Structure 1
Amino acid sequence: MDLSRRALIRGAAGASLALSGALDAATRPAPRPAAAVSGPIIDLHSHWISPAVLASLGQRLSGPRVLHDDRGRTLLARPLAGQAGPAAVLGPSWLDIDVRLAHLESLGIAHQLLSWPTTLGIDPNLSPAESVALWSAYNTDLAAVVRAHPRQFSGLAALSTSDIGWSVRELQRGHQELGFIGGVLPVNGFASLDAASHFAPILEAAQRLGSHLFLHTGFAHQSVSGQPPLTLHADTAEVRGALDTAWQFASSVVTLGYTEFLDPYPDVTVQIAMLGGSGVSALLAESVTRSGIALSPRFKRLLFDTGAAGQGPAAIAAASRVFGASQVVFGSDYGPSADIGGVVRHVAEAGLAPADHARVLFGNAAALLGRHGVTVGG
């Protein structure tokens, strides 16, 4: 399994959104009045690309690299199936902190948790030495943003999936020197017990530090065995991509929710992006519960955010119903998405009770951040 040829399939995130839309259409309850947003919002799923990353990737001549087109746009080129894939445009929402701050203020977003977007498939395509250098520089840049804007931002350390020893030390540096509350890792690194075992040293460090770990879309380095394939079938790529991404997320939720992997780490909180794959994880848990398998108490250790493919009102309603609204948090996926307002509306349209609506938008995240000494006004 050559991960130099296994960057995420083009459009996987968009395909997941399509699956979320299909789920929404199939399971949407009767329309109810949308809840009004009457207070601040905390966003636990947003991304930023730092100047150090742009400079480093701008020096590369092959593989993942940053380019500039004749219109002056910043582009990220990634390998796809052994060839150069279409470049992604990195606009102001990815790069410009001032643009971000203005957007947050316009919508009443009181605080954002910033992280590296593992979707981009950079780490799997780098050598251990390259990844260590890149993520160390990124984390230093991110810490400067958090220090400059502590009221608006918290941060998560980007970690190498090929040099686990370094990642243990970097997680510690993140907590003790950089002011971070935890780290971000690719969700496919937890799709099986075999894969998750590679990260046990990071979990052990996270337990000592009381870390928050964010599992986001993406693959770990090829040295991490037990990951699912990029895609099972070559036909109907957009639809297969949606299905495969949802399956990858659900597999990781099974590992974390139904095995004993997390049991030695009771002080680690784990956030799973996109409601665990377009809300599929909630429907899976509900299905197995109906077949006689009790909903695992370990789900109280997991938080599910509404980023990207998890933003559909029916998916939000399903996750809140199955896992409890106390386990659902607001996430916008700002960075690749330039408008948070749509996700705010989708949460309002999920038909949650007013108290649960407030928990999802603010209360659950405020409690999490409070554990790390971050107070956000309510």
Structure 2
Amino acid sequence: MHIIDSHFHWWPRAVFEDLCKRRDYPRAERNARGGYNYWRKEGEPWFVLGPEWFDLDSQLAHMDGLGHRVDVVCSTGPFSLHYSDLPAHEGMDAAEIWNSEMARVQREHPDRIWASAVVPLVDTEVAIATLDRAIQHHGLMGVNVPGSVGNDPRIDAERLEPFYARCAELGVPIFLHPTDAIFPDMLEGYNGALHLSLGRVIEVSVAAMRLVYSGIMERYPDLKVFMSHTGGALPYQAGRMDKNGKGAKLPQPPSTYIKRMYTDTVSPHMLGMKFAVEFYGVDHILYGSDYPCWMPEHALQLFDEIGLSEADQRKILYDNARRVLNLKTPEERALAIAAE
């Protein structure tokens, strides 16, 4: 079976080696595991990362051991927040390191790896310029949007509307992923168990609903929003969004816009996966494993337990990613870049 994993994380070492040169926060240090400790601010490290995040050859070898051909789509995940923690032009320079590394692995693994861009959102003009370079020069296929702009939860801020308009104009998907910045105090304790269980679910839900209630999804019907983690709580609480969302004064029920979004199968629970398929519809679900945070062996086992038809399985495992994320062959990428 040919599979595309739409929620896969590889982080370039070059980005973290550059961070090791910093003395101010955010910064990083190499650790004894062969990875890096990353500090967003003073205190405990924000991330303690092992080599499984950085060794692409090992990651692809893991995929090769699954008994299927598995191609991958690299997205940034929680680290996308980093680029909006920096001053705008420093964030732009840092984003260029990430984006150029992503472009490199696309070239080195044609038709096996596709990759998405990072942008600093603290300045809208800088964000758009970074986006344009990533898509038009580097040939990346999408852009990562964190659940907050640094500690500011307003990813729907009025000043950012031109950025979303440009994403819609370019036809690139937005990868919406939580970043752990805005709920940690409320969910502290238990060695991170409460935050890791609920924080990211809450954050991606709130971020997606900001795009809905702000009217961005209404004004830009071509905007592709790809939510992580089966859309957080939204499939299960969409009725509350409709019941209590009248104050946003949208022309359609909020659930209409939620169902226009896309999501993955990243839920370590077969019933969660199944309900996401039923709520969004099979054409709006893309297989993802969240590797290395979750093992694809488990993700595929749970997906198989849903009991979908062979045609619907193929859509979720392969066809939808090609269509929704507009995944181009190497030849198509070259033609698209030459045409700009």
**SS at 1:111 equivalent:** strand
**SS at 2:116 equivalent:** strand
Mean Cα displacement is larger for which, 182-191 or 52-61? Answer: 182-191
1:231 aligns with 2:188: no
Structure 1 residues 199 and 118: CA distance shift in structure 2, 3 A: farther
2:5 is matched with 43
Alpha-carbon separation, structure 1, partners of 2:193 and 2:226: 26
Structure 1 residues 57 and 315: CA distance shift in structure 2, 3 A: same
- 2:211 corresponds, among 251, 256, 271, to 256
TM value normalised by structure 1: 0.75
* Offset from partner CA, 1:325-373 (integer Å, 9 cap, x none): 2211111112444x3221111211233344333222122112224x353
Report 1 or 2 for greater relative contact order, CA contacts < 8 Å, sequence distance ≥ 6: 1
Structure 1 residues 170 and 79: CA distance shift in structure 2, 3 A: closer
Say what the alpha-carbon RMSD is for the aligned residues.
3.1
2:334 is matched with none
**SS at 2:23 equivalent:** coil
Structure 1 gaps of 5+ residues are 1-38, 221-227
Contact 1:50/1:141 (<8 A) preserved? yes
1:208 is matched with 169
1:144 aligns with 2:104: yes
Alpha-carbon separation, structure 1, partners of 2:129 and 2:244: 43
1:242 aligns with 2:179: no
- Among all aligned residue pairs of Structure 1 and Structure 2, give the percentage whose two residues are the same amino acid: 23
Structure 1 residues 333 and 263: CA distance shift in structure 2, 3 A: same
1:161 alignment partner AA:
L
1:322 is matched with 279
1:362 aligns with 2:323: no
- 2:270 corresponds, among 313, 316, 329, to 313
Q: Equivalent residues in 2 for 1:11-22 (5 A)? A: none
TM value normalised by structure 2: 0.82
Alpha-carbon deviation of 1:141?
A: 1.2
**SS at 2:218 equivalent:** coil
Alpha-carbon deviation of 1:64?
A: 3.6
**SS at 2:65 equivalent:** helix
Q: Equivalent residues in 2 for 1:141-220 (5 A)? A: 141-188=101-148, 194-197=154-157, 198-218=159-179
Structure 2 gaps of 5+ residues are 247-252, 331-340
Contact 1:329/1:361 (<8 A) preserved? yes
Number of matched pairs: 321
* Offset from partner CA, 1:248-269 (integer Å, 9 cap, x none): 2222232334552122323321
Alpha-carbon deviation of 1:193?
A: 9.4
1:267 alignment partner AA:
D
Contact 1:326/1:359 (<8 A) preserved? yes
Alpha-carbon separation, structure 1, partners of 2:85 and 2:322: 35
Mean Cα displacement is larger for which, 266-275 or 349-358? Answer: 349-358
2:255 is matched with 296
* Offset from partner CA, 1:90-147 (integer Å, 9 cap, x none): 31x3212222222222222432111223347533543323322211111111101101
Contact 2:147/2:179 (<8 A) preserved? yes
